[in-house]
Amino acid sequence: MTSADLAHRLGIPSGPLFFPVTAYGADGSVDLDTYRAHVRQGVAAGAAAVFACCGTGEFHALTPEEFETCVRAAVEETAGRVPVVAGAGYGTALAVRYARLAEAAGADGLLAMPPYLVVAGQEGLLRHYREVAAATALPVIVYQRDNAVFTPESVVELARTDGIIGLKDGLGDLDLMQRIVSAVRTEVPGDFLYFNGLPTAEQTQLAYHAIGVPLYSSAVFCFAPEIALAFHRALIDGDRATVDRLLDGFYRPFVELRARGRGYAVSLVKAGVRMRGLDVGEVRPPLHEPGGDHVKQLAEIIERGYALLEEAQ
């Protein structure tokens, strides 16, 4: 899939962007059969794309061999129905290695994570992502967060780089994002994709949409696809009553629960997947499982979310 092809398919808001969790067995090894089932279920539920082995998929916890196996499995299970975008990260040499593994596994694109540990200047960040983009023929989406924060001028340079098709924002600075969108629109002809990559992005998507960021990741889709789809449809259709009802009754309580534990952006999602009947195992360290009381609260929030959908019918 060319950069233009992937950009076109991702730019059509046909459904939520699905970030599957990575399934582990009782011994802690990757449970590939369950992972395949999770991917199949997401595609059947209406995902617009599968982002395999990214943040929610515990990219940080996977060996290169596990990573390639999971990306290949996602590619096989989607069978071309939706694009598969794989994570790539760490230092430049390892990011390039993961990019090439993803390409060998059949991925359609890359989500380039922040470099490991160091806080680099703009010049170094640009060099890093240019080398990742040049390493394969895969289109690249750059993930802004933590130690990879860009000036508008740097994003203009990224947008001019062959193979880089978009920016995913996990920082949450709307002023910066508005200036980035404006700078790229002014300086670079053609389309450049923007994604809201904050945890539980639905909570902030009204604001992001208003500044020209129409796409967002949905971790909720992993365990409550019907709720995520209902929100997505309402957002696209301009059904503000449904958007507000789901924000008030489901998303806000979920976000407040998520904020009560470090790493809950992953472990709480994984608990939700298990709760809905698919045993994807626990998270790997250094993440930890949510406490029993928090799991109980999660069950109540999910039940409330589905009740809201029934009330709307």
Q: Just list the catalytic residues.
A: 143, 168
Query: DSSP strand E in the chain: where?
Result: 17-18, 49-52, 84-88, 109-112, 140-144, 164-169, 193-196, 215-218
Query: What angle separates helix 152-159 from helix 174-187, to the nearest 10 degrees?
Result: 40
Residues 109/85, Cβ–Cβ less than 8 Å? yes
Rounded Cα distance between 203 and 252, Å, is: 7
Complete DSSP assignment for 146-168: TTB---HHHHHHHHTSTTEEEEE
Q: What is the DSSP string of 6-56?
A: HHHHHHS-SSPEE-PPPPB-TTSSB-HHHHHHHHHHHHHHT-SEEEETSTT
